[in-house]
Structure 1
Amino acid sequence: MTDTLPDRLSLNPRSPFHDAALLERGVGIVFNGQERTNVEEYCISEGWIRCAVGKALDRHGNPMTMKVNGKVEPYFLDTKAGDN
C-alpha cells in the first residue's frame, strides 16, 4: 500500500470515492490549521470538506452535511503518531 492519499475520499460506502482499505488504516484531516474529526468527505484539489451537521439525518439515513471551503491536509493516523 502506498503512503499517498487520494485527491478525494468519502466515508459513504455508496460513493465512488470510498476506499475501505485506506479508511481502515485511518485518515486524519487538518483543515485550515485545525484538526477535524467530523469530516465525511474531502477534496484536496478543490479545497473543501463535508462535515456532519448535528445529529440530523436525511431521508436515506445519512448524516446531514455542510460543505466548507479552505485548505485541506489529509494524513494517515499511523504515520502522524510515528512523527511525534
Structure 2
Amino acid sequence: MNATTSQPALPDRLSVNPRSQYYAAEYFEHDIGIKINGKERFDVEEYCISEGWVKVASRKALDRRGQPLMMTVKGEVEAFYK
C-alpha cells in the first residue's frame, strides 16, 4: 500500500495553532517535516513557502495573552511528509 496516495498536498502556508486562519486539521493526521535552508526544524509553529519564512516560539517571552512570542526565520522553506 502506498501511503502517499492518501496524503493531501501540503499548502503554501500552514499553522499548528487552531486559532490561526491558516490552521487545517486534515494535514496534521500525517507527520509533517519542515526544512529551512536545508536543515530540519522541529519547533516550527507556522510556515510560508512562497514568502520563505517559518515562525518559531521564543523560549521565555510571552505576549499579553500568555502565548509565546514568535520569531521569524527567513530562508528556503521545504515542507514534506515524513
TM-score range, shorter chain: 0.7 to 0.9
Of the candidates 61, 64, 72, which is equivalent to residue 67 of structure 1? 72
**What are the ranges of 5 or more consecutive residues in structure 2 without an aligned counterpart?**
1-5
Residues in 2 aligned to 1:28 and 1:55: alpha-carbon distance in whole angstroms: 24
8 Å CA contact 2:14–2:24 kept in 1: the answer is: yes
Q: CA 1:64–1:71 in structure 2 vs 1: closer, same or farther (change >3 Å)?
A: same
Correspondence for 2:16: 11
| Identical aligned residues as a percent | 53
Structure 1 residue identity aligned to 2:76: K
Q: What RMSD over aligned residues (CA atoms) do the two structures have, in Å?
A: 1.3
Deviation at 1:22, TM superposition (A): 0.5
TM-score by length of 2: 0.84
Deviation at 1:19, TM superposition (A): 0.7
Structure 1 residue identity aligned to 2:10: L
Q: Which runs of 4+ in 1 moved over 6 A?
A: none
Match of 1:13, SS state, is: coil
Correspondence for 1:23: 28
Match of 2:58, SS state, is: strand
Deviation at 1:55, TM superposition (A): 3.4
Match of 2:10, SS state, is: coil
Structure showing the higher helix proportion among its residues: 1
Match of 2:18, SS state, is: coil
Correspondence for 2:41: 36
Number of residues paired by the alignment? 77
